Structure 1
Amino acid sequence: MRQNPSFAMTDVGELRRLVERNPWVTLVSQTDEGLVASHYAVMLDPTRDDLTIVGHVGKPDDLIHGLGERELLVIVQGPHGYISPSWYGSASSGPVASVPTWNFVSAHLSGTPELLTTDENLRVLEALVDRFESRMPEPRGMWAAPNDPAFVERLERGTVGFRLTPTRVVAKRKLSQNRSGEVVETIIAELSADGAHPNPTLAAEMRRARDAQVAAAAEGAHP
């Protein structure tokens, strides 16, 4: 992903938030047969405060990716959506004002993963299930009937757990930061409305980025 200093995302807290809110990721590896990609849920390692993630793949994806033997690229995709130039209004002029674009938040985490032991993998599997089941009216954990320990053990044998502490991170938050406040407000309003391209999640992310930008500017003006 080509980086642009205006849109670079480097704050670890913001990157952790991105992973936490978007656990369904794409895993990409370079193999002797070419590029391979898989899709799995991951989570931040609860024992760490950095960008270390844990997850699992189903067999034989571990062999296909050469998991633990070569570099793995994990793509985390946050909110994204189309931005129409008709939303720029009279506050923008010139050729660039007529160019549509796509706003997005995304991160690429790269590194060689560590394979988990059986016990570690079981804990990760249980934590992943608990995370999403906890929202249900009657949560069903990994160990709840009919998922007795023997059945869960058989499930674990069909997976390979991993832990990845990225050695390279490229993240980008392109949310119209290069536009005026008036234009940003218009875009947020259009995304929030029931129009041609409704996208309340992206609108909320833009609003959050705008508020942070305004707060930083105010802080810089008052040393």
Structure 2
Amino acid sequence: MRQNPSFAMTDVGELRRVIEQNPWMTLVSDTPDGLVASHYAVLLDEDRDDLTIVGHVGKPDDAVHGLGERELLVVVQGPHGYISPGWYPAGPNVPTWNFVSVHLSGIPEILGPEENLRVLERLVAHFEATLPGPRLLWEPPNDPGYVRRLEQGTVGYRLTPTKVVAKRKLSQNRPGETVDTIIAELEAGSSPYADPRLPAEMRRARDAMRRAGDAR
């Protein structure tokens, strides 16, 4: 991902927020057979306060990726959406796409069976928590044998990234009035190609720039 200093995200708290709110991620490896990509849910490591993540892959994806043997790129895709040139002041303009994305790279640590089970249990609990009748991993009709077989079909990992590239491209290079107009258009549903969370991300970026300007 090409970086632009104006769009760079470096605050660990903000990066953790984006990771936490966008758990469906893309895992990419450069293998002897070429590039390989898979898609899995990933969570922040609850025992760490950095950008360490935990997750799992189903077998044989561990072998396909060479998991634990080579660098893994994890792509976190935050809110994004199409921005029409019609939302800019009169004059020549081109459309663009606003987005938030975080790339985490490193060689993952492979988890043992018991720790992998804890990660699987936490993943299920995390996503079931907001449902009216949550079904947790160890609850009937799942029995211990069934849960153990599930674990044996997966490989858990922990990734403490050695490289982080994060970008928040949210019209920060535009005048404040234009940013406000884009936010209003997005909130009005003017773009069918935008995540409804995008205007809130634009507000966060705009407000952060204003605070930085006030501090100078």
CA contact (8 A) 2:83 2:191 kept: no
CA offsets 1:152-195 (integer angstroms, 9 cap, x no match): 00000000000000000111100000000000000000001032
Work out which of the residue numbers 157, 162, 165 in structure 2 matches 1:162: 157
CA offsets 1:48-85 (integer angstroms, 9 cap, x no match): 00000000000000000000000000000001111111
Where 1:122 maps in the other structure, the secondary structure is helix
Matched letter for residue 82 of structure 2: Y
Report how many residues are paired: 215
CA contact (8 A) 1:190 1:198 kept: no
Where 2:7 maps in the other structure, the secondary structure is coil
* Alignment-derived partner of residue 144 in structure 1: 139
Rounded to whole Å, the distance in 2 between the matches of 1:195 and 1:7 is 24
* Alignment-derived partner of residue 76 in structure 2: 76
* Alignment-derived partner of residue 110 in structure 1: 105
1:210 is aligned to 2:188: no
Where 2:57 maps in the other structure, the secondary structure is strand
| Cα deviation, residue 38, structure 1 | 0.2
Rounded to whole Å, the distance in 2 between the matches of 1:141 and 1:130 is 6
* Alignment-derived partner of residue 128 in structure 2: 133
* Alignment-derived partner of residue 201 in structure 1: 197
* Alignment-derived partner of residue 47 in structure 2: 47
Where 2:134 maps in the other structure, the secondary structure is coil
CA offsets 1:121-142 (integer angstroms, 9 cap, x no match): 0000000000011111121110
Choose 19-28 or 211-220, whichever is displaced more. Answer: 211-220
| Cα deviation, residue 196, structure 1 | 4.1
Where 1:177 maps in the other structure, the secondary structure is coil
CA contact (8 A) 2:74 2:103 kept: yes
* Alignment-derived partner of residue 2 in structure 2: 2
Structure 2: which 5+ runs fail to align? Answer: none
Choose 47-56 or 199-208, whichever is displaced more. Answer: 199-208
Rounded to whole Å, the distance in 2 between the matches of 1:194 and 1:73 is 33
CA contact (8 A) 1:192 1:198 kept: no
Rounded to whole Å, the distance in 2 between the matches of 1:10 and 1:2 is 15
Matched letter for residue 192 of structure 2: H
Where 1:30 maps in the other structure, the secondary structure is strand
| Cα deviation, residue 198, structure 1 | 6.5
Matched letter for residue 15 of structure 1: L
Kindly report the root-mean-square deviation, in angstroms, between the aligned alpha carbons of the 2 structures: 1.1
| Cα deviation, residue 219, structure 1 | 2.5
Where 2:197 maps in the other structure, the secondary structure is helix
Identity of aligned residues (%): 72
Rounded to whole Å, the distance in 2 between the matches of 1:170 and 1:137 is 37
When residues 71 and 198 of structure 1 are mapped into structure 2, their CA distance, relative to the original with a 3 A threshold, is: closer
TM-score by length of 2: 0.97
Structure 1: which 5+ runs fail to align? Answer: none
Where 2:121 maps in the other structure, the secondary structure is helix
CA contact (8 A) 2:67 2:108 kept: yes
Kindly report structure 1 stretches of 4+ aligned residues shifted beyond 6 Å: none
Rounded to whole Å, the distance in 1 between the matches of 2:207 and 2:165 is 23
Rounded to whole Å, the distance in 2 between the matches of 1:79 and 1:194 is 15
Rounded to whole Å, the distance in 1 between the matches of 2:7 and 2:88 is 19
Matched letter for residue 164 of structure 1: L
